[in-house]
Structure 1
Amino acid sequence: MTVEADRTVEGAITAFVQDRTKTELAPDADLFATGLVSSLFAMELLVHLEQTFAVTVDGPDLTLDNFRTVDAMAALVRRLKGEGR
């Protein structure tokens, strides 16, 4: 994956989270520790990643650590798409 494409993944996730929370955040901000993510919003994040990036998140990938930060979600998407950083 190119750096430009990588920024697109992080940018798309960041835009979604910031739009829904009305809060600016750093890509390494812990969304759960900040209280920005409820259990319902965590499910919305899952659906957003699956639909936006055409991936399926299941089994061992369904952990809070994979959704804790924008960086973690972008890494999950890259891994599920079989793309290296």
Structure 2
Amino acid sequence: MQQTQAKIQEFLSRFFRNHDLQLDEDIFALGFVNSMFAMQLVLFIEQEFKITIENEDLDFANFKTINAMTRLVESKTNVVTPA
């Protein structure tokens, strides 16, 4: 979890240099995200974590904070073993 958070935070810090972004800060409410950056963010997450973001995953709630993105990545990468 911490490694995922760190990678996402590092990516975002390249764009938000003058702001120490916290894990639960809403990047949309802060005004940091436009449509072009949202596309970059989705592409980064797909490539960095080797996952596919499906249409049903494209919800603001999944991308508004570092913690939300971490939960999304972990939900897409956790393999559930049958009981």
TM-score of the aligned structures, taking structure 1 as reference length? 0.87
Counterpart check, 1:24 vs 2:24: no
Off by >6 Å, runs of 4+ in structure 1: none
- Counterpart secondary structure, 1:30: coil
Q: Compute the RMSD of aligned alpha carbons.
A: 1.3
Task: Structure 2 unaligned segments of length 5 or more: list them.
Answer: none
In structure 1, distance between residues paired with 2:57 and 2:14 = 25
1:13 aligns with 2:8: yes
Alignment of 1:2-81 (within 5 A): 6-22=1-17, 23-81=19-77
What is the aligned length?
79
Cα shift readout 1:21-60 (whole Å, capped 9, x = no counterpart): 2121101000000001111111111000000000000121
Structure of larger gyration radius: 2
More helix by share: 1
Identity of aligned residues (%): 34
Taking structure 2 as the reference length, the TM-score comes to 0.89
